[in-house]
Structure 1
Amino acid sequence: MDKEKVFELLKENFENKNITKCIFSNMKGDYEYTKIIIKPLIIKNNFIYQFEQFKNNKAYHSNLTIEEAIQKLSTIIENFYQYVVFTTEADIQIIRGKKDFNMKSTCNQKEICSLEHNKVKRYILEEGTPIPFLIRLGIMGEDGKVFKKSYDKFRQINKYLEFIDETIKELKNKKYIDTHIKAVDFGCGKSYLTFALHYYLKNIQNMTFEVIGLDLKKDVIEHCNQIAKDLNMENIEFLTGDIKDFNKLKNVDLIFSLHACNNATDYSLLKGLELDAKAILAVPCCQHEFNQKMSQNKKSEFFAFENPIGKHGILLEKFASLATDAFRALSLELCGYKTQVMEFIDMEHTPKNILIRGIKENPNKNTLEKKLQEYEVYKKFLGIEPLLDTLLKPYFKI
């Protein structure tokens, strides 16, 4: 198959609006972008193709008309070796060789999805389906309709379950778990997320499990245990106690800590390591330590010049908060985890929106040595000795 026929094939599908998704990868030479993903969208009643173009680990978006998209295709074909084209009728894979193009096509009967840019979000817990724990916690009515005042909490719970879903899939792929999981929620509070995890594991994943929620407030824990009893929820337990003293389970698969204040997050990470957790998820809150310690050491490299951040208290506070979470992620990597730092929920709903996720892996020695060097340079630049350094260093893999 020659280049002209490839272009005509793509042109015809773009013109007829048959494209559901295109992925162009394996860049040729030194083209500006390393990967391009194209999707159809309808924005303000106008049909467009959205180009998501990747360069230096960043994504750049542009919305083009059908004619503009087709015009750009000829350049794209010249600069990539591999194309995967999903249409309403077939999945097409095209590999560019030295002289020709090899094509493999597989028929399908895909349902055409809505192209609306602002389409209704589908949640793991669907509105309209009565869910006992959400009704009991006052988030939805008996008819399954979410109360307006509780919609932010409903969205947060679903976002949490999306992360849990991804994490469980990865744990299964790595053979860390099969059909049983042990999970602990540190600082569970009113236990919206603990109850959500129980419901998800039982009714969606159909797994066996042991779930524990831990909090310092005795009255809150008593209330949570009463809800679990009233709803006949099995294999879930709520305990009163400090994270540092928890020893109810061993070899835990998953720990989660939502909005544990200041160093409570650090003790959650430590306890995750003590329990040999396969996955650690933490949404930190109120990171005061770095801000205080950085402010007390104006001789550090951070303050070595007229620092436009350091001279403004509110900016230093925000920087210190991000620096804290970066240090936590790097520390977990040195403990043998693959980490990701992600947005937990939209900024408009809560400013505490950073989630750190660590999944156990087996990094090689060279990788760990580079990370340790990065760790020491970073700590020196900030000019502090964080508590986390003392807590987690015994678990470093190097």
Structure 2
Amino acid sequence: MPEPLDAALTKVRELLLDPNLTRAVAAGRRRGQRPSVVRAELRPVVLKAGRRLQISTSDGSRPYTRNVAPGTEAGAAVDALLAEPFGNWHVETADATLQLRVTKSGEAQLHRAAADRAGAEPSGHDRTKDYLLDPGDPIFAEIGGSAAKRRQVDAFLRALAATLPDELSGPLRVVDLGCGNAYLTFAAYRYLAQRGVDVELVGVDVREDQRRRNTELAERLGWADRVSFVAGTIADAVVEPAPDLVLALHACDTATDEALARAVRWRSRWVLAAPCCHHDIAAQLRTRPAPPPYDLLTRQGILRERFADVLTDALRAGLLRLHGYRTEVVEFVDSRHTPRNLLIRARRTDGTATGQQRAEYRDLVDQWQVRPRLARLLTEDAPGG
């Protein structure tokens, strides 16, 4: 049941100053209000000078961290944060977890649960280190926080972390093509901003209602100045300037090819694409006999479809290599959770394809008598976006 906000914040304050505090996060914003920072995180640390309360805040692009002494200094710092119009608080102590959400009417919804000690590490700091984005982060209150979604978010962020260098110089411009409801878009922004990256992110989706929904969510999170959305097709949406990183996560069938082609034309430095559905090559395989001795490979419909998936992504990786990208095809999410679990990860090197690489690609398409959609897109006289 809702309760007065002041009373709820008093309970939060008690836990924030409790010696058993392990971690707390404040994020989001109340209706019609905007905090001076987009996120605050508190946790106890032990320094040479003794125990301190570490407070890390972020303005959406760069973090700021300070350590305050227990007592009056910590109390004043906590009071200042509680006075900010955050929409969500998540507080963990050794004994309990408390979540506060401010409703549209300005009341508080509180949920308190006993700490889950099953399988916990000795330190409260260690419980969440398995995830790159803490499962208790208030962002999950907005995008959904089921166990399956948290696993997918974490798998994606690990792939993102493995793609980008440890240190990024200058701003990073990211475009998510075919972003849908954008929960991975928002997760990417949260993760990169927490790393201290100066990131600006644009989501593209063909549906205007998705653009409105995602824009409203960015405003609620206080990120509207760094995360924006446009309605349009992957091939034609206006995105300026060209991005450094292109995401295309589960864009269906040849929409993945359109995203890859646009990334190549943009000369984007990095590409992460999780293909979904592979009808184009599958349809071509159905119209012609398989080259010998592979008739058994395509005679059965289910085997032909699966082979088409593999052939499609192998050709995509080969084409990216021919256009100056170092490309890997890796597992995205464990296959127990989804059969669409491949990720094409590419980094532009500006290297020139060798004769052997060109021959490998040409021999494969000639043998199977197919022409990938991505090859057609890359040879068309299309604008660069």
- Percent sequence identity is 32
1:154 has 2:154 as partner: no
CA contact under 8 A between 1:285 and 1:352: conserved in structure 2? yes
Change (3 A) 1:306 1:260: closer
Decide whether the 8 Å contact of 2:155 with 2:332 is kept in 1. yes
Alignment equivalent of 2:208, drawn from 199, 213, 218 = 218
Q: State whether residues 132 and 231 of structure 1, in contact with CA within 8 Å, keep that contact through their aligned partners in structure 2.
A: no
Whether the 8 Å CA contact 1:188–1:214 is kept in 2: the answer is: yes
Quote how far apart the aligned CAs of 1:163 are: 1.2
* 8 Å contact from structure 1 (residues 250, 276) kept in 2: no
Residue equivalent to 2:241: 250
| Alignment check: 8 A CA contact 1:334 1:372 kept | yes
Alignment of 1:6-45 (within 5 A): none
State how far apart, in whole Å, the 2-side matches of 1:121 and 1:324 are. 36
Q: 1:163 to 1:306 in 2, by over 3 A?
A: closer
Letter in 2 for 1:282: A
Contiguous gaps of at least 5 residues in structure 1: 1-112, 140-149
Secondary structure at 2:356 match in 1: helix
Q: 1:169 to 1:206 in 2, by over 3 A?
A: same
1:202 CA drift (Å) = 1.4
Aligned residues of 1:263 and 1:287 also touching (Cα < 8 A):
yes
In structure 2, distance between residues paired with 1:248 and 1:386: 25
1:224 alignment partner, SS class? helix
Describe the superposition over 1:145-203 as per-residue Cα deviations: whole angstroms up to 9, x where unpaired: xxxxx111111001111111122217x5xxxx514100000111111111011111212
Q: Secondary structure at 1:308's aligned position in 2? A: helix
> Contact 2:252–2:277 (CA<8 Å) still a contact in 1?
yes
Q: Contact conserved, 2:230 with 2:237, CA < 8 A, in 1?
A: no
Partners of 1:250 and 1:275 lie apart in 2 by 9
Alignment of 1:115-130 (within 5 A): 122-127=130-135, 129=136
Partner amino acid, structure 1, of 2:253:
N
User: Which of 315, 319, 334 matches 2:322?
Assistant: 334
Q: When the two structures are superposed, what TM-score results if normalisation uses the length of structure 1?
A: 0.61
Deviation readout 1:281-326 (Å, 9 max, x if unpaired)? 100011011111011011xxx3334622111000000000110000
Assess if the C-alpha contact under 8 Å between 1:180 and 1:207 holds in 2: yes
Work out whether residues 284 and 355 of structure 1, in 8 Å CA contact, stay in contact via their aligned partners in 2.
Answer: yes
Q: Unpaired runs of 5+ in structure 2?
A: 1-120
Q: Is the 8 A contact 1:279 1:359 kept in 2?
A: yes
Q: Say whether the 8 Å CA contact 2:250–2:276 is kept in structure 1.
A: yes
Q: How far apart are residue 120 of structure 1 and its match?
A: 9.2
Give the alignment of 1:46-195 within 5 angstroms. 122-127=130-135, 129=136, 131-139=137-145, 150-169=146-165, 172=167, 177-195=168-186
User: What is the TM-score when the length of structure 2 is the normalising length?
Assistant: 0.63
The code of the aligned residue for 1:123 comes to Y
Query: Aligned partners of 2:190, 2:265: CA distance in 1, in Å?
Result: 27
- Provide the alpha-carbon RMSD of the alignment: 2.1
Match of 2:116 in 1: none
What residue in structure 2 maps to residue 293 of structure 1? 284
Within the candidate set 196, 206, 216, 1:206 is matched to 196
- Asked if residue 350 in structure 1 is aligned to residue 338 in structure 2, the reply is yes
